[in-house]
Amino acid sequence: MGVCVITKERFHSLLYTHPDIAISIIDELGKRISAMENAFQSMSVRNLDARIALLLLDYANRYGIMTKDGVKINLPISREGMANQLGIARETMSRKLSQLEKKGVILSENNRVLIIKKMDILDEMAGI
């Protein structure tokens, strides 16, 4: 993948002639704004367990696939990336996920795949 440089005028022309591209860009920006709002709200109001639960529920909603074992999530980022989203250390994130796994709430297949086995417990932790 490379970087493309385009003038403002040419970009506007592209959007006018291909409105589907404009709609896709608006959709993506809306998702990013919503994710940032959720992150700011959860960081300012909730305790760490609730913030982690909200993050996992968000990933389940956006990336999850229902399986016989639960909701399988191919994580879009590493545990370190998840920790960064929440403003905590990677070690803390790993410890909290391990605690959830010991309680049977989640199952970690590897560092990039999680299965949420007990969504109701995450809902409760998140205060939903």
- Asked if 39 and 80 sit in the same domain, the reply is no
Which string of b and e fits 50-83 if b means at least 16 CB within 10 Å?
bbbbbbbbbbbeeebeeeeebbbbebeeebeebb
pLDDT at 118: 94
> Considering the domain boundaries, does residue 2 fall inside one?
no
> Considering the domain boundaries, does residue 28 fall inside one?
yes
- Asked if 59 and 23 sit in the same domain, the reply is no
pLDDT at 40: 66
Number of domains in the chain: 2
pLDDT at 72: 94
> pLDDT averaged over consecutive 10-residue blocks of the chain (128 residues)?
86 94 92 76 74 91 92 90 91 95 93 91 88
CATH of the domain at 71: 1.10.10.10
d(CA 84, CA 51): 12
d(CA 33, CA 28): 9
d(CA 14, CA 116): 42
- Asked if 109 and 70 sit in the same domain, the reply is yes
Determine contact, residues 83/90, Cβ cutoff 8 Å: yes
pLDDT at 21: 93
Q: How far from 59 is each of 12, 73, 107, 110, CA to CA, in Å?
A: 33, 7, 15, 16
Range of the domain at 37: 8-45
- Asked if 40 and 73 sit in the same domain, the reply is no
Determine contact, residues 113/77, Cβ cutoff 8 Å: no
pTM, to two decimals: 0.66
- Asked if 79 and 118 sit in the same domain, the reply is yes
H-type helices in 7-89, by residue range? 8-17, 19-45, 48-63, 79-86
- Asked if 61 and 35 sit in the same domain, the reply is no
- Asked if 65 and 120 sit in the same domain, the reply is yes
Provide the 3-class DSSP secondary structure of residue 39. helix
